[in-house]
Amino acid sequence: MGKAGVLVLALVALTCTHECQAQDWSAVTNLLLNKILALWKEDSVQFMGSECHYRQKPKIYRWQLYYVGNFSCNKFFGIEGSGKGRSPVTAKRDSIIDFLNKAQTAGLLSKEEVDKWLQG
């Protein structure tokens, strides 16, 4: 196999690795979202040793009612998830997913920590 073949194989392997990791994180995000929503109390939830809060307000956009939400946790400084939806539930779900994706991208959530929290 020539250099071009090796380069193509390496490129395919990197692409598959990146896509596989993205699919894995998507599945983990759904598990985290469901557990966070299940644990939700009146105005906060405990997530990985951090107290998290959700704020929501209605907003009129192009003569239609939307809900805009923000999800943040005190130990994940500087990261806030935001979501917008036609229903309060959609805005909450979108803001939590946005928060989880931002925290994972920043390297604040490892698969091992998340697995431990999901099992505990």
pLDDT at 4: 41
pLDDT band at 112 (very low <50, low <70, confident <90, very high): confident
Helix axes 3-39, 88-105, angle to 10 degrees: 130
| Cα 92 from Cα 85, distance rounded (Å) | 8
Q: Report pTM.
A: 0.76
Averaged over 58-66, what is the pLDDT? 94
pLDDT at 65: 97
| Cα 76 from Cα 80, distance rounded (Å) | 8
Cβ burial of 49 (10 Å; 0-12, 13-18, 19+) is exposed
| Cα 71 from Cα 94, distance rounded (Å) | 9
| Cα 47 from Cα 62, distance rounded (Å) | 36
Query: pLDDT for 72-111, tens place per residue?
Result: 999 998 899 999 999 999 999 999 999 999 999 999 988 8
